[in-house]
Amino acid sequence: MIHLELSEEIIESHRIYLRKKLPDMISDFKKTWKKQSYTTAHKKFCDWLMGQVNLLGESNYKKSIFLQKPEQFQDTYNYIKNYHPKIIELINAPTKKKKDGTKEKSYSEYMQDALGYKKFCDKTPSPKAGHRYMVGEYKGDADEWCAYAYIMSTGLKVCPYCNRSYITSYYSEKNKVRPDLDHFFPKSIYPFFSMSIYNLVPSCKVCNSSFKGQKDFSFDSYINPYEEAMKDELMKFNYNVSSLTGILGLEEEKLELTIDYDKENEDAKRLKNNNEVFNIELLYQYHRDTVCELLRRQYIFNEEYRGTVLKEYEDLFADEKEMDELLFGLAKDGDTKNTLLGKLRKDIYEEFNSSVGRDVSDRRSYE
């Protein structure tokens, strides 16, 4: 999994949108939803939600449930559980079946509607705004902000959960497509987080629908990609191989791809739990050919060869780092989150250099 950050422009767009759209919807939710013995608790909670919307207009607006960092989610959940326990009961209550066999609408679904998640997802920006969002040039207002605008504004090209599938958006008058928008904490269980910006993670369909689904990611056991604790060094891809000549194709190829975690770091344990849900280690065995290719390149393109290339094409490369990015398919300027298999390539490249070295004689002794 790759660490993500949100720009101040995204935060501001979401803030303006919610301040404009939520008051009327929450007010309607407060008035129209009624259930004996729960009505008072419901109205009290709606007042709390409205207070969170009002907070968006104050200087400390980032403390609102809609803009707070993921590290604050557990405290907010504990507050709701302690001071609005009947709301948790309503959310967890089983839904009844109607006479026609269909299920009644759950309280969780009513709350998601009141916070406007479906409208946020169904809405599309104007063709002109959509194009400018797509090329990263547009700063929209509340009338243009939606899931398409949010995802395109992040600039993400690759799924942050697996780093192996493209999630680029496309938008035009005739056609449009965008990746899934995953609720890290499922909206069915935590509907009050359904429009929290740091709970909305652009992702591929395999990770979101096939692997994660509605799995309850507990606060203590899993790590949100927006958390500051989500550091690159928590895990490293590594490889086991019988000999480098095998990688070079001189004998049968035998390579195992592994993941090493920082055993002393609790956050690394959380990341490992994430990766097990997304089947990262298993899926990455399908990319052993990429690792073999990278190892071959590193073995062949020794220091002398690379020095010759750099000298011969000095006008093409600013430095050795830029040349290595081209030769070994590394992420440009270290941007692994937008490079397919960027984390894998970076880790294997660094591991080979640290354990084998670039000198050819050192590499042969490794065999």
As a 3-state breakdown, the chain gives helix, strand, coil percent values, each rounded to 5, of 55, 10, 40
Do 332 and 246 lie in a common domain? yes
Residue 141: pLDDT over 90: no
Single-letter amino acid code for the residue at 292: C
In a domain, residue 266? The reply is: yes
Give 181's pLDDT tier (boundaries 50, 70, 90).
very high
Give 140's pLDDT tier (boundaries 50, 70, 90).
low
Do 269 and 345 lie in a common domain? yes
The larger pLDDT score, comparing residue 121 to residue 35, is at 121
Tens-digit pLDDT profile for residues 270-325: 999 999 999 999 999 999 889 988 988 888 888 888 889 999 998 898 888 899 99
Least Cα distance to 338 among 197, 223, 131, 167 occurs for 167
**Of the ranges 132-141, 189-198, 301-310, which one carries the lowest mean pLDDT score?**
132-141
Mean pLDDT of 31-40: 88
Neighbours of 195 (CB within 10 A): 23
Q: Last residue of a domain, which of 183, 212, 241?
A: 212
CA dihedral of residues 101, 104, 106, 109 (deg, nearest 10): 100
Least Cα distance to 201 among 160, 252, 249 occurs for 160
Do 283 and 161 lie in a common domain? no
Residue 37: pLDDT over 90: no
- Contact predicate 296/248, CB 8 Å: yes
Residue 77's SS3 state is: helix
* Beta bridge partner(s), residue 97: 103
Q: Which domain holds residue 167?
A: 8-212
- Contact predicate 345/328, CB 8 Å: yes
Map tokens 């803030």 to a residue. 15
- Contact predicate 287/304, CB 8 Å: no
Mean pLDDT of 332-349: 93
User: pLDDT value at position 38?
Assistant: 92
- The beta strands (E) that lie in the chain are given as 170-171, 176-177, 180-183, 200-203, 235-241, 255-261
Mean pLDDT of 193-220: 93
Residue 239's SS3 state is: strand
User: pLDDT value at position 367?
Assistant: 44
Burial class (CB in 10 A: 0-12, 13-18, 19+), 204: buried
Mean pLDDT of 32-61: 94
Give 127's pLDDT tier (boundaries 50, 70, 90).
confident
In a domain, residue 299? The reply is: yes
In a domain, residue 98? The reply is: yes
Do 251 and 352 lie in a common domain? yes
pTM of whole model > 0.85? yes
In a domain, residue 218? The reply is: no
Do 203 and 246 lie in a common domain? no
Do 173 and 261 lie in a common domain? no
Residue 356: pLDDT over 70: no
Do 197 and 252 lie in a common domain? no
Give 183's pLDDT tier (boundaries 50, 70, 90).
very high
Q: Where are the alpha helices (DSSP H) in 94-171?
A: 107-114, 117-122, 127-134, 147-154
Do 340 and 206 lie in a common domain? no
Q: Average per-residue pLDDT in the chain?
A: 88
The larger pLDDT score, comparing residue 109 to residue 132, is at 109
User: pLDDT value at position 358?
Assistant: 44
* CA 93 to chain CA centroid, nearest Å: 30
Do 243 and 329 lie in a common domain? yes
Map tokens 């290595």 to a residue. 324
- Contact predicate 116/195, CB 8 Å: yes
DSSP string, 257-324: EEEEE-TT-HHHHHHHHHHHHTTHHHHHGGGHHHHHHHHHHHHHS-HHHHHHHHHHTTTT-SSHHHHH
Do 21 and 162 lie in a common domain? yes
In a domain, residue 362? The reply is: yes
Single-letter amino acid code for the residue at 101: G
- Sequence-separated (6 or more) residues with CB below 8 Å from residue 266: none
Q: How far apart are CA 245 and CA 243, in angstroms?
A: 5
Number of domains in the chain: 2
Q: How far apart are CA 283 and CA 278, in angstroms?
A: 9
Residue 360: pLDDT over 60: no
Of all residues in the chain, the percent with pLDDT exceeding 70 is 90
In a domain, residue 1? The reply is: no
Give 20's pLDDT tier (boundaries 50, 70, 90).
very high
User: pLDDT value at position 134?
Assistant: 67
In a domain, residue 222? The reply is: no
Of all residues in the chain, the percent with pLDDT exceeding 90 is 60
Least Cα distance to 227 among 13, 1, 10 occurs for 1
Q: Last residue of a domain, which of 212, 240, 266?
A: 212
First to last CA, the chain: 32
Do 236 and 124 lie in a common domain? no
- Contact predicate 164/283, CB 8 Å: yes
Token pair, residue 149, equals 């605008």
Residue 364: pLDDT over 60: no
User: pLDDT value at position 247?
Assistant: 67
Do 171 and 29 lie in a common domain? yes
Q: What is the DSSP letter of 157?
A: -
Q: Last residue of a domain, which of 145, 177, 212?
A: 212
Tens-digit pLDDT profile for residues 71-102: 999 999 999 999 999 999 999 998 887 777 77
